[in-house]
Amino acid sequence: MKILLLEDNKKLNEAITKRLNLKGYNVLSFLDGKDAYEMVTEGFSCFILDINVPNIDGIKILKKIREYYNSLPVIIISASVELDVIKQAYDFGCNDFLKKPFFIDELEIKIEKLCNIQNDKIYFDENSYFDFKSSLVSINDEESRLTKKEKLLLNLFLTKKNQLISYESIENYVWEGNFASLESIRSLIRRVRKILNKDYIQTVVDTGYIFKTD
């Protein structure tokens, strides 16, 4: 599972990254909010955000995440105990709030819990995506026999409609950070195309795909 970590305290950042990597997570860590902001859509499964960081704060990054992903887990970590700050984080869609200082073991527990919940929700959230179901062939019937990767790919396409989705983004999201050959990705695309009413998936040569709905 690929995790984005934003923490401007270098020692804490390194400690969290080291521990989570040892647990088998693929952690991409940032000290600066601007750098993290630009990477939000690159196929992460979970986000850990400090609020008070240089250039772009964690709340603004949280808002951007929720523009693209309705239910991917976001954990806010902060030394702030101000209720207004905590309320703002929850209002903008964080899933949990962890006050510094904390034990990294506690962070691990929260990640595991939230990602287990996410695995139950990741496929075709009716409130978010079924307004587009008319573009799919008998999606209610198809859903029961789609593979996990087919569901993940459709979820990615529906989340990023009319945007370029690179091979790397598909690999990171659908294969959850593990290696996928170009032929494996193309094979998956061919299978998903078969359940669409139209060829919404447009190929961008040597780059990726666009799920074109306009």
Here the CATH number for the domain that contains residue 161 is 1.10.10.10
Show the tokens assigned to 122.
């990741």
Q: Do strands 46-50 and 74-78 pair parallel, antiparallel, or not at all (unpaired)?
A: parallel
Q: Using alpha carbons only, what angle is made at residue 190 by residues 187 and 191, rounded to the nearest 5 degrees?
A: 90
Q: Residues 83, 125: one domain?
A: no
Same domain, 36 and 110: yes
- State whether 76 and 129 are in the same domain: no
SS (H, E, C) 127-193: HHHHHHHHHECCHHHHHCCCCHHHHHHHHHHHHCCCCEEEHHHHHHHHCCCCCCCHHHHHHHHHHHH
- Each residue's pLDDT, cut to its tens digit, for the chain (214 residues) gives 789 999 999 999 999 999 998 888 899 999 999 999 999 988 888 999 999 999 999 999 999 998 888 778 999 998 876 788 888 889 988 999 998 888 889 999 888 888 764 443 333 343 434 444 444 544 444 444 678 888 888 888 887 778 888 888 888 888 876 788 899 999 999 988 887 767 889 998 888 899 887 6
| Claim to verify: residue 22 and residue 111 sit in the same structural domain | yes
Instruction: Write phi, then psi, for 67 (nearest 5 degrees).
Output: -70, -25
Q: Are residues 80 and 135 in the same domain?
A: no
- Please indicate, yes or no, whether residues 90 and 148 belong to a single structural domain of this protein: no
Number of domain units in the chain? 2
The whole domain housing 170 covers 121-211
Tokens in use for 146? Answer: 């789609």
Do 100 and 142 fall into the same domain? no
Q: Do residues 101 and 67 share a domain?
A: yes
Closest alpha carbon to 104 in 25, 44, 18, 9: 18
Co-location of 6 and 28 in the same domain: yes
Same domain? 97 vs 191:
no
* Model pTM score: 0.57
